[in-house]
Every structure is written in structure tokens, then in C-alpha cells.
Structure 1
Amino acid sequence: MTTAQDKHPQPLVGIGSCLAGNEVRYDGQSKAANIHVQRMRECFDTRPFCPEMAIGLGVPRPPIQVAGEPDDLRVVDVATRQQDVTQPLKDFAQQVLNNNPTMAGYILVKGSPSCGFDRVKRFNKEGRLVARDSQGVFAATLATIDPLLPLEDDGRLNDPGLRESFVTRVFTYHQWRELCAEGLDAGKLVSFYSRHKYLVMAHDVPSYRKIGKMLANAGKEDIEELGQAFITELMTALTKRTSRRSHANVLFHIAGYLRKKIAPPERQRLSDLIEQYRLSAVPLIVPITLLKHHFANHPNAYIDQQAFLSPFPDQLQIRNVT
């Protein structure tokens, strides 16, 4: 029998060192990780990094801030505004990715001028706050080097939809990296998508259709180019928020495979439960659990492999609230 650990091997995920409990912030403190980050650390192989420490700023240290215009952002010290650490932070981002080629995601630090995902404070040359419209330079460089790498900060991970998307992308990207390490061919590519079709459908139906057409002639295309186009479309689709309506659509599709397997009262009960989910009466875990129960009694090889039914460990409790 396949265990949860077998089905969900731990992906390598970077994390802000302060969120990992290390006292590396400018004031010598750590930052308390919220419950969602704590659960993720149990399911991910997290590797802590502090860019500011890594470039030699030390602890404690004068704080730094993002300054300048949107098209020419710099990271400078608050006290003198003379110490520019922009390039060292960019260089360290490159170093992190070079040294961790299997990294499947990164948990950033809300508001940080180095590690903030978004809405980072931006100051003018005189040190006055002008906007909260920036991204930390280290974080921005990670995104530039690997646009598909899942990134979120600890603050945004409080949002159930963003949390679901992030964790789904982390496990999917991890599986993709493993597949590529084995050696990609047309058959493996089609098989990978076959397992993720309903997951993509739940996030973005147009991408679901586009990828299907993309792979129609997989054996005749250059596999490297096709693979890159495929994973770009798939990972982009998974950034889209799911909804109760989109999940219900997939649930009804999957339930269709039980049409001739279960009795009419059971079919009606399942249909009613999916509708209750769509109307926000129950969380997603409820119809998912019933579907798994029925497929345990009536196995279907195609459905059993679907990532949608178990895209991440249940202990993350993501589907208990969505």
C-alpha cells in the first residue's frame, strides 16, 4: 500500500531564516512563524537562508530599506543611505539557486526589503516613504532567475486560496524536477499531465484545454522545447485561484466514473454533498473523503492516479477550510 510519505516526498523549500526560529533579524530577534508555516515545515524539507546575514551585514545591524524609483530600485542602509547592498543581495539569490538546483519553492518574509514578496515599503532619496509597491530585492531576483519557482511570504500564506495555490505548486514543481532528472520523453510528459489534468481544470479551464492541444502531437515535437512550454503553462495555471464552483465542476467529473459502480441512493448522496460544498455548507475535504471511500471500494486506475484527490498531505489542513 502506498503511504502518505511515499505519495508526498518532501520537496526542498527555502525559508527565511528568521521564520525558522533563528535570531538573525536586524535587531537580533527571530520572527514567530504562523501555524500555516509551521505545518508546511513539517511537510517540506525546509532550508533556511538570511540574505542580509549572508552578505555580511551581521547581527545586530543597521536596518536597510528599498529606495528609488520603480525602474531603479536600490537597497541601502537607513542611517547613512550610503551603503548600497543591492548587487550583493542579487548575487546571493543566484548563489542560493545554483547551490540548490532541486529547490521547489521559497517561503519569504513579509515586508522585508530583501525577502518581501510584495507591498514592501519604498522610500525616496531623502528617506521619506512614498509607496508600498515594491518587492524585496532578493525575492525579486529569485523570481527573475526562475519565474516558475513558487514564492509566497508568511503573511500572504494566511490567505486560504494563496496557501492552496502555493502548496500545490510546490509539490507539482518538485515532481516535475524529479521527472526531468530521470530524463524527459513524450510518454513521460503525457503521463505527467494525465495525473494532473483535473488539478489544472480546477485552477484554470482554458489552460486545461490549451495543454491538451499542446500535447496532442507530443511525439513529433522537440521534447525540451515542449517540456518547457508545458511546465510554464501548467505552473501558470496553478497560480490561478480555485473556487467552490471550479472544484465542484471537477468533483462532478470524477463522480461520473462511479455512475455504474454505486447504487442510485449513493450517487444522489454524493451529488448532494458536492452541491452542499458548492454552496459553502461543507468544506472540500467532505466530498473528497466520500469520493475516496467509493473509489477504495471501486478502484479505477485512472482516478487513483489523479493528483487532484491528494495534491498535498492532509496534515496541512488546507481542504478543511476551502
Structure 2
Amino acid sequence: MSEKIPVGISACLLGDSVRFDGGHKRFAFATDELAPFVRFEPVCPEIAIGLSTPRPALRLVKAQQDEIALCYSKEGGEDITDQMQAFSAEKVAHLHHLCGYIVCAKSPSCGMERVRVYESATNNNRKAGVGVFTRELMREIPWLPVEEDGRLHDDAIRENFVERVYALYEFNQLCKTGLTRHGLVAFHSRYKLLLLAHSQPQYRELGRFVAAIDQWDSLEQYAVEYRNRLMSLLAQQATRRNHTNVLMHVQGYFRKQLTSPQRQELAALIDRYRQGIQPLLAPITLLKHYMAEFPDAYLAQQRYFEPYPEALRLRYGH
């Protein structure tokens, strides 16, 4: 994929000095590792609504009827919820082309989860909020992969996020170049092994949905529903157990071509992955070697073996 993938990001994570204290939160994974492959579209909602840098800190406050307001933490605690909500709705309406979004953790405008929510009459708080902008983003584009910088330090979450970004990009390209039933079925076929690694029950359910594609009068409506189900399935993290089942399934394709020692070596490597002794990259590398030596058309097109650029090194550690 030569074209860079459009991904939204909180501007402070790119190193822009837009935070309330005049600083930034440069996120090295985004700026150093992802940047060669994606086209970042930075947004700082607080700057966008006219706030200065530096500025008084903001916080989420539990208001009447359990509504959550965005207010200054000091100097009278003025409520700017309406301004932020109006901007968020207008901005997000123009972000449907994005394939992912990285938001700033803990931010009252951009945090994805566990943002502190304060009681209006006291200083008591609990980590239960979502930033105003990100809440609107996830409401308007529920299929969009959204993660925050803090969570992306976790290897499994990081890989899952990038995998979803690439899957959504490929699906969007399919829709952009001309949607056909054949194209959709072929797309699903390429992702079968990858989906199986995420959830066997949802994999089977989505398979039944694809088999019923001819029952839909509108291909566009079908594609929307398929996209939602696809991204929901991929949001379920792949597990070591499911990966092991996929690897053993692929191993079966080479039963006749491999010698007995080769079969034993491959089986032992898969088992060492199952036990957590080897990273996923190890058995996949050996399987790709056998795929080159004994070509199989079905396996060759499977995204499972390269769901994103190898240069990102996301399968090295687990």
C-alpha cells in the first residue's frame, strides 16, 4: 500500500506545544514508528475553540441529572461544554475518511476512558469519564479504531490497533474503487484466518452473514453492516489459544509435502509459541518459508501472515 493511511491524532502527541501548560506529550510510537506509514491529521479541540496556550486547566464535572460538563478547574469554574460539543460535532462529521485515531490519555477533551470526573460541590473525583471530543468521535464513528497513547504502550493493544487501522483502510479502498459482491466476498476470504485468531464464534457468525449477501437488495447497506461487524470482531483481541489453532490449521496444508522431521519441528515450534516461550513471529516465519517452497493460492492471499508492514515489528514480543 503506497498511499499513506489517514489517521487522526491529538496534536500534543505529535509534539505540538498546545497543552494547557504550554507543553506537549510527544508520543514516540506515533512520531517515529507509525509516521512513515500514515498521514496524521492532528487536532487540538481546546485550541480549536479559541483557548490560549498556556491556559487554565479544564476538568470534567458531574452536573445535575448526572450530566458531565467541561469546566475550568479554577477561576469560577466556567462551563465551556456547549462550545466544545459544538466544535466536536462539526469536526467529527468531517472525519469519516479516517482509519484510526490516537487520543491523549486523561484529557477532559480527548481522553478515551478513565478520565477524572469531579463532583461539583466537592473535590471528590472518580476515573469514569470520557473526553468531550472523543465521546463524540466514538458516538459518530463507532467502527473507527480509537486508542490513547497510554494504552498503546501495551504490545497486544498496539498490535490490535494497527491491525484494525490497516483492515479498515483496505476495506475503505475497496469501497472507493467500486463495490461489488465479488469484491466483498474476496475481501472477507483474505481475512478469514486473521478473524479466526480474534474470535471463533464471531468468525462463524460473520461467515454466515457473508453467505447471505445475496439476500440484501442494497449492496451499500450490506457493506455498512459488514464493516461494523468486521471492526467489532477485530476489536476483540486475538488470543494465544486462537493463534495456536490458526497455526495448527495452516500446518495441515503442508502435511503431505513435509518430511516427518520437518512436521515435528513445526509442531514443536507452534507448541513453544502456545506455551509463551516463542513469539508469534517464530512459527509464522517458518510457515511463510514453507509457503514459498510449496505455494498455495489460498494461503498466499491471507492477510494473517502480513496484516501490516513487517517493519513495524509488532509480532516480535508476544
Q: Is the aligned partner of 1:94 residue 2:89? A: yes
Paired residue for 1:200? 195
1:32 aligned partner: 26
Matched AA of 1:73: I
Rounded Cα–Cα distance in structure 2 between residues aligned with 1:85 and 1:321: 44
Q: Deviations over 1:113-147 (max 9, x none)?
A: 01111110101113513211111111111000010
- Structure 1 residue 261: deviation in Å? 2.5
Could you tell me whether the CA contact under 8 Å between 2:96 and 2:141 is conserved in 1? no
Q: Which residue of 2 is the match for residue 46 of structure 1?
A: 40
Q: Equivalences for 1:126-165 in 2 at 5 Å?
A: 126=121, 128-165=123-160
| 2:186 alignment partner in structure 1 | 191
Q: Which of 201, 212, 218 is matched with 1:217 structurally?
A: 212
Aligned to 2:295: 299
Could you list the runs of 5+ residues in structure 1 that have no partner in the other structure? none
- Range with greater deviation from structure 2 (180-189 or 152-161): 180-189
Q: Within 5 Å, which residues of 2 pair with 1:265-284?
A: 265-284=261-280
Q: Which moved more, 1:38-47 or 1:94-103?
A: 94-103
Matches within 5 A, 1:244-283: 244-283=240-279
Residue by residue over 1:238-291, the C-alpha shift from the partner in whole angstroms, topping out at 9 and shown as x without a partner, is 111222111111111122222223222212211111111000111011111111
- Asked if 1 retains the 8 angstrom alpha-carbon contact of 2:16 and 2:24, the reply is yes
Partner amino acid for 1:179? L
Q: For residues 159-217 of structure 1, give each alpha carbon's deviation from its aligned partner in whole angstroms, at most 9, with x where no partner exists.
A: 12211221111111111111111232211111111011111110111111001111113
What is the aligned partner in structure 1 of residue 62 from structure 2?
A: 68
Give 3-state SS (helix, strand or coil) of 2:286's partner. helix
Moved more, 48-57 or 260-269: 260-269
Question: What is the alpha-carbon distance in structure 2 between the residues aligned to residue 127 and residue 138 of structure 1?
Answer: 25
Aligned to 1:85: 80
For the aligned residues, what is the CA RMSD? 1.8
Cα distance in 1 between the residues matched to 2:28 and 2:105: 12
Q: Tell me by how many angstroms 1:237 deviates.
A: 1.0
Comparing 52-61 with 69-78, greater Cα deviation is found at 69-78
**Contact 1:273-1:287 at 8 Å conserved across structures:** yes
Could you tell me how far 1:59 is from its partner in structure 2? 0.7
TM-aligned CA deviation for residue 305 of structure 1:
1.1
Deviation at 1:229, TM superposition (A): 2.2
Which aligned runs of 4 or more in structure 1 are off by greater than 4 angstroms? none
Alpha-carbon contact 2:61-2:71 (below 8 Å) kept:
yes
Spell out the pairing of 1:7-22 with structure 2 (5 A cutoff).
9-22=3-16
8 Å CA contact retained: 1:12, 1:105: yes
Using the aligned pairs only, state the percent identity: 37
Larger deviation: 295-304 or 66-75?
Answer: 66-75
| Contact 1:121/1:129 (<8 A) preserved | no
Separation in 2, partners of 1:311, 1:87:
41
Q: For 2:147, what is the secondary structure of its paired residue? A: strand
Counterparts of 1:176 and 1:251 in 2: how far apart (Å)?
25
Q: Which residue is 1:59 aligned to? A: 53
Task: Please say if residues 255 and 263 of structure 2, whose CA atoms lie closer than 8 Å, have aligned partners that are also in contact.
Answer: yes
* Shift of residue 225, structure 1, vs aligned partner: 2.8
Distance 1:15 1:317 in 2: 21
For structure 2, the 5+ residue unaligned runs are: none
Aligned length: 316
Contact 2:27-2:149 within 8 A present in 1 as well: yes
2 CA distance for matches of 1:318 and 1:254? 21
Residue 37 of structure 1: how far off its partner (Å):
6.2
- How far apart in 2 are the matches of 1:36 and 1:271? 36
Q: TM-score, normalised by structure 1?
A: 0.93
Q: What is the match of residue 222 of structure 2? A: 226
